[in-house]
Amino acid sequence: MVKYEAQLDAVFTALAHPARRAMLARLGRGDATVSELAEPLDMSMPAVTKHLKVLERARLISRGRNAQWRPCRLETTPLNEASGWIEEQRKVWEARLDRLETYLHSLDKQPRKKR
């Protein structure tokens, strides 16, 4: 369970930055080189490389080898796992809120005491 939680932490940390989300969105359209990922971003190549390392540590991307190019590829499994965790939390909170709503309605139906 600790490994799973650490993986979720890495994914959510990676998703926390808009530049990394933009990179993932671009990779959602297909593989891209580092230069292609950096092009729309207003940052230095060393900064882009640091962001790519965060995405790699979270296993959100992998890098292949094609001659002198190292194209980046989106890896969807960690995103699917994070989505599943979010869905579980949504169900838990919906059930809690439903119970709270039921309780509050039961209070409305009880006669009020006079003071």
Residue 62 host element (H or E): strand 61-63
Average pLDDT of the chain?
92
Instruction: Evaluate whether 32 touches 26 at the Cβ level (below 8 Å).
Output: yes
The pLDDT tens digits for 11-27 are: 999 999 999 999 999 99
Residue carrying the six token digits 């580092």: 34
pTM for the whole structure:
0.80
The pLDDT of residue 4 is: 84
The pLDDT of residue 76 is: 96
CA distance 78 to 3: 13
Q: Give residue 94's identity as a one-letter amino acid code.
A: E
DSSP letter string, 56-87: HHTTSEEE--BTTB--EEE--HHHHHHHHHHH
The alpha carbon of 83 is separated from its chain's Cα centroid by a whole number of angstroms, namely 7
**115 residues of the chain, pLDDT tens digit each:** 778 889 999 999 999 999 999 999 999 999 999 999 999 999 999 999 999 999 999 999 999 887 777 899 999 999 999 999 999 999 999 999 999 999 999 988 887 776 6
Beta-carbon contacts of 32 under 8 Å, excluding residues fewer than 6 positions away, are 26, 71, 72
Domains and CATH numbers, the chain: 2-109 (1.10.10.10)
CA distance 72 to 27: 7
